[in-house]
Structure 1
């Protein structure tokens, strides 16, 4: 699984060694063949397509308005998803376990202590995610410029 998830984006600004690019955020329904007969696809079509702006390191010379190919390693996507979803859940469970097995008997309290420590553990997990997300390298988990799309010229 060393592939890349790829997307086409348009360069909207250039700042030194970086370019700001705009990508259209689409739902998964846009690639589904059952889109016309599915209620979820109908709802997805009702909302406008949103544009997302990303900052990527330049690997070649580009001009504003040019289309580029971006990629994110699939392994980075999996690690990022594990960080965002699994870490807060583990902290929530550990907080509840700590409250149930240690703090509740120590304070002679009931399930209120367990609920409170679970919530504190979950909140701590989200804070850890924010801390690690800010510390991770842009090149490792962010999009990378793979190349420039050359416009097709007509033969006339």
Structure 2
């Protein structure tokens, strides 16, 4: 389970909205010089805070510090879908067009159409997955007090 600490911003029936502080591990990574994420972090283009809807069966108050979690396998499957599905659709469309004897411009257009189809398929999968409680962040419990307020992390 991948866990993150956050503060409850609002409460709805069966769920809460949690504000998390995004932490970067770019200072510890060996590839920080060539990494786009590290560059974006240094430039300050990413928001320092994230807002997540997490399911819960307990009653929480606004301002409570909680631990939210997502199953690791859900994260891995999601990453595979995001990275591989559009690429797979691109290659299938391009190779199919080539096998049918299309010229280079048609193969390129087929590849672009396959890529677009891959993104559409990815969007369809994301909408379906958004209703799956196993893929939605869950509130695991109250965060233990560490002596450091969440705003200073």
1:87 to 65, 68, 85: 85
Q: Deviations over 1:106-148 (max 9, x none)?
A: xxxx200000000000100000000010011342222111111
Residue equivalent to 2:150? none
Structure 1 runs, 4 residues or longer, greater than 3 Å off: 38-43, 150-153
Structure 1, unaligned runs of 5 or more = 105-109
Residue 30 of structure 2 corresponds to residue 18 of structure 1? no
Residue equivalent to 2:56? 58
1:44 to 38, 41, 45: 41
Residues 116 and 49 from structure 1, CA distance in 2 versus in 1: closer, same or farther, beyond 3 angstroms?
closer
The structure whose Rg is larger is 1
TM-score by length of 1: 0.79
TM-score by length of 2: 0.81
Give the match's secondary structure for 2:57.
coil
Residue 112 of structure 2 corresponds to residue 129 of structure 1? no
Structure 2, unaligned runs of 5 or more = 148-153
